[in-house]
């Protein structure tokens, strides 16, 4: 039986070369180019530090002490302690207890005014003790007011209100008829004495305090209303 000749498959069929040409590279799309380094530099320092410490905390939780990393871990502990020492601390604003002193001095002044109106002859028994209490509260409060005024983060509006209530009590309740028997001593945060005097009247202490207020306000560029401060000639003596 004759054998038919074997047909060869076309080169374009299953025997086609398996080598496929590489696809042409697609052109890059035009657009904005982002820089990671620039993005990082735009992060505020505190936020960047927070991110770094958060990552460090996550890494620290996964660590185990081994003979190979014991020395390195000790260095990390020292750096962590140094970081706490270097970080700036927020200075708390001094609490002047304005509301408490306002209520106290106002009520004492009103009580004194009532006694003077309805019992003017009873000067020694009721008026003098009230005036002494007002004098003591004002003079004992002034050092705290000055220390708050000297701080860099001083609330000058609050200090103004404190001085105004003290001046009101000194002018309206004490005036120049009640001798001051309490010495005013003020020392700064470095324990250096800045004021030590025994004035005849509380008004003299207030004049000095208002002069200090003017100086600190000028140093910080805080606005000052002359009508609120200048009430007597003692301010210029």
Q: Where are the domains of the chain?
A: 98-236
**C-alpha span between 109 and 169 (Å, rounded):** 7
**C-alpha span between 19 and 181 (Å, rounded):** 110
The SS3 of residue 155 is coil
Given this model, what pLDDT does residue 232 score?
Answer: 46
Phi, psi of 187 (to 5 degrees): -120, 145
Given this model, what pLDDT does residue 85 score?
Answer: 72
- What single DSSP character describes residue 125? I
What is the DSSP pairing of strand 193-197 with strand 184-187? antiparallel
Asked whether the beta carbons of 138 and 146 are under 8 A apart, the reply is: no
**C-alpha span between 134 and 170 (Å, rounded):** 8
The SS3 of residue 147 is helix
The token pair at 109 is: 């002044």
Per residue, the 3-state secondary structure of 192-222, as one string, reads CEEEEECCCCHHHHHHHHHHHHHHHHHHHCC
Given this model, what pLDDT does residue 101 score?
Answer: 95
In sign, the C-alpha dihedral spanning 129, 135, 138, 139 is negative
Asked whether the beta carbons of 98 and 158 are under 8 A apart, the reply is: yes
**Which one, of 180, 229, 178, lies nearest residue 208 by Cα?**
229
**C-alpha span between 46 and 94 (Å, rounded):** 26
Asked whether the beta carbons of 202 and 138 are under 8 A apart, the reply is: yes
Per-residue pLDDT of the chain (237 residues; tens, 9 = 90+): 555 555 444 444 444 444 455 555 555 555 444 444 455 557 888 788 888 878 887 887 787 778 787 778 778 777 877 777 777 655 555 789 999 999 999 999 999 888 887 776 666 677 888 889 999 999 999 999 999 999 988 999 999 999 999 999 988 888 766 777 788 999 998 889 999 988 788 889 999 999 999 999 998 887 776 565 555 444 444
Given this model, what pLDDT does residue 9 score?
Answer: 44
């Amino acid at each position: 039986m004759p054998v038919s000749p074997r047909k060869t498959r076309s080169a374009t069929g299953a025997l086609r070369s398996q080598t496929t040409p590489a696809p042409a590279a697609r052109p890059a799309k035009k657009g904005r180019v982002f820089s990671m380094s620039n993005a990082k530099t735009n992060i505020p320092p505190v936020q960047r530090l927070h991110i770094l410490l958060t990552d460090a905390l996550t890494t620290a939780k996964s660590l185990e002490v081994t003979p190979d990393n014991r020395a390195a871990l000790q260095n990390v502990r020292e750096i962590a302690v140094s970081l706490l020492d270097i970080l700036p601390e927020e200075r708390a604003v001094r609490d002047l207890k304005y509301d408490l002193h306002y209520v106290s001095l106002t009520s004492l002044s009103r009580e004194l005014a009532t006694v003077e109106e309805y019992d003017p002859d009873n000067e020694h028994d009721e008026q003098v003790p009230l005036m002494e209490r007002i004098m003591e509260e004002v003079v004992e409060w002034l050092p705290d007011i000055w220390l708050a005024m000297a701080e860099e983060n001083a609330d000058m509006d609050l200090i103004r209100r404190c001085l105004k209530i003290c001046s009101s009590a000194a002018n309206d309740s004490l005036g120049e008829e009640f001798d001051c028997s309490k010495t005013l001593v003020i020392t700064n945060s470095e324990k250096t004495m800045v004021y030590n005097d025994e004035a005849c009247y509380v008004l003299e202490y207030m004049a000095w305090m208002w002069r200090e207020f003017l100086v600190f306000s000028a140093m910080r560029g805080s606005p000052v209303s002359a009508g609120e401060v200048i009430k007597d000639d003692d301010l210029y003596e």
